[in-house]
Structure 1
Amino acid sequence: MLKTMQKHGVTLALFAVLATGLTAVVNALTKDTIEQQAVAQQKLLFNQVIPADSYDNDIQTSCVVVNNSPLGTGTHHIYVARLGEQPVAVVMEATAPDGYSGAIQLLVAADFNGKVLGSRVTEHHETPGLGDKIETRLSNWITYFSGKTIQGSDDASWAVKKDGGQFDQFTGATITPRAVVNAVKRAGLFAKTLPTQIDNLPVCGAQP
């Protein structure tokens, strides 16, 4: 009996080693492909929020970091669009913390004069059939931010219509669009402050 148990133990150990080795090999072989796909997906998303012909640098590698800013608590990345070395706009990660079912993650592009160039939702947990209309696959609602200018923090038009603003709310769901509108507004206003900060912000991936 003891010998049988020892034999099975050795077999299981060998199987575990082989499985671990195979997993490591697969990870090594697919790592570059996965990274390339992630870069391509990010580029596709950027092209939806900022016109590709409005800048001439590699925006994905022109990245800085802000912490606990108007974009939300924690760390957010900002991608700087440049034209002839001159910063002309930014694509910012932003968080709407007050969605109906939790935080909503956004990508917001804006110039430095208060104009929002575009916005997309990258992650959310809103109610299917109601709050999820912030997704472009279900509605074009979020595209209405494109080209809209924020006059200032007291710009009352940057609100849902129920609150006297210009943006539609969803039938049966006002909390979600209100949260997104406010987050995009905060991001657009923050973009106006960036020209004097960009060169002093830490670069993405830099060691502290």
Structure 2
Amino acid sequence: MMTYVEKWKDKIGYQTALLAATCGLAALLLVSTEIVTRPVIELRLAEDQNALLDQVLGGKVYANDVFNDGHIVSFKGQKYHIYNVKNEQGQVTYHVIKGAEEGYSGLITYLIGVNLDGVIQGVRIISHSETPGLGDKIELAKSPWILSFNHRSLKNTPVWAVKKDGGDFDQFSGATITPRSVVRGIHKAMLALKKDQGESHD
């Protein structure tokens, strides 16, 4: 006949095994869900990226598969994807830069269209997790703020900063960190492109 201590130990052992099995099953489900949803998320991001391409190029015509015609550039500890935009003759007509900058609530991923003179044709936000009603004004659907990058270049914009920091980019009421991050990210991306083209920079 089992003693109370033996019964207690047996019960604890059973509960431990049950807990371990439950944790293992939960981990398996999480991994399985991640494996299943990852391609879907990547596909959606690719679709969003392609949809924004025409916008950052200002509707300009191109003949190549832009996002399969690029390379990675490292600049100040970050990596930027630089893509070539080509015409039917195979000549490069524009560049597209994809980068990311840490915002208030996480990474802000953006796309920039730049002509061969280094002038921005357009900027669009691919993804972000900024505060709804405040930081999400970086989206064109919520505010025209992102259009303030149009026609900017390293030559005609000496100070890349929001007005609060001495620049001439507007900030949002109650959300300075988000626009500050985007301005900083676009500036660094433009410097990365300049570096890639073999030019010197400050």
TM-score range, shorter chain: 0.5 to 0.7
Specify which of 55, 69, 75 is matched with residue 75 of structure 2. 69
Name the structure 1 match of 2:158: 155
Residues 79-88 or 135-144, more deviating: 79-88
1:104 aligns with 2:108: yes
Report the 3-state secondary structure (helix = DSSP H, G, I; strand = E; otherwise coil) of the residue aligned with 1:110: strand
Compute the displacement of 1:50 (Å): 0.8
Aligned to 1:20: none
2:51 is aligned with 1:44: yes
Shift of 1:54: 5.2
Work out whether 1:190 is the aligned partner of 2:192: yes
Distance in 2, matches of 1:38 and 1:162, equals: 33
Contact between 2:94 and 2:116, CA under 8 Å: does it hold in 1?
yes
Alignment-derived partner of residue 143 in structure 1: 147
Q: What SS does the aligned partner of 2:197 have?
A: helix
| Conservation of the 8 A alpha-carbon contact between 1:113 and 1:192 | no
Give ranges in structure 2 of 5+ residues lacking alignment: 1-35
Q: How many residues align?
A: 161
Larger CA Rg, structure 1 vs 2: 2
**Counterparts of 1:38 and 1:123, CA distance in 2:** 8
Query: Among 108, 119, 124, which residue is 1:120 paired with?
Result: 124
1:88 aligns with 2:93: yes
Q: 1:194 to 1:87 in 2, by over 3 A?
A: farther
Seen in structure 2, the aligned counterparts of structure 1 residues 38 and 106 have a Cα distance that, compared at 3 Å, is closer
User: Which residue does the alignment assign to 2:13?
Assistant: none
Letter aligned with residue 94 of structure 1: G
- In the other structure, the counterpart of 1:131 is 135
Q: Which runs of 4+ in 1 moved over 6 A?
A: none
After superposition, the CA RMSD in angstroms is 2.9
Which position in structure 1 is the counterpart of 2:167? 165
Q: 1:172 to 1:39 in 2, by over 3 A?
A: closer
The residue matched to 1:53 in structure 2 has which SS?
A: coil
Report if aligned partners of 1:77, 1:92 keep a CA contact under 8 Å in 2.
yes
Offset, 1:192: 2.4
**How far is the alpha carbon of 1:180 from its aligned partner?**
0.4
* Contact 2:54–2:60 (Cα < 8 Å) also in 1: no
Q: Which position in structure 2 is the counterpart of 1:203?
A: none
Asked if structure 2 preserves the Cα contact closer than 8 Å seen for 1:112 and 1:191, the reply is no
Counterpart in 1 of 2:66? 59
Deviation readout 1:43-76 (Å, 9 max, x if unpaired): 321001013435443323312233x435x63x54
Counterpart CA distance in 2 for 1:123 and 1:147 is 23
Secondary structure of the 2:95 match is strand
Q: TM-score, normalised by structure 1?
A: 0.65
Taking CA–CA contacts closer than 8 Å with sequence separation of 6 or more, which of the two structures ends up with the larger relative contact order?
A: 1
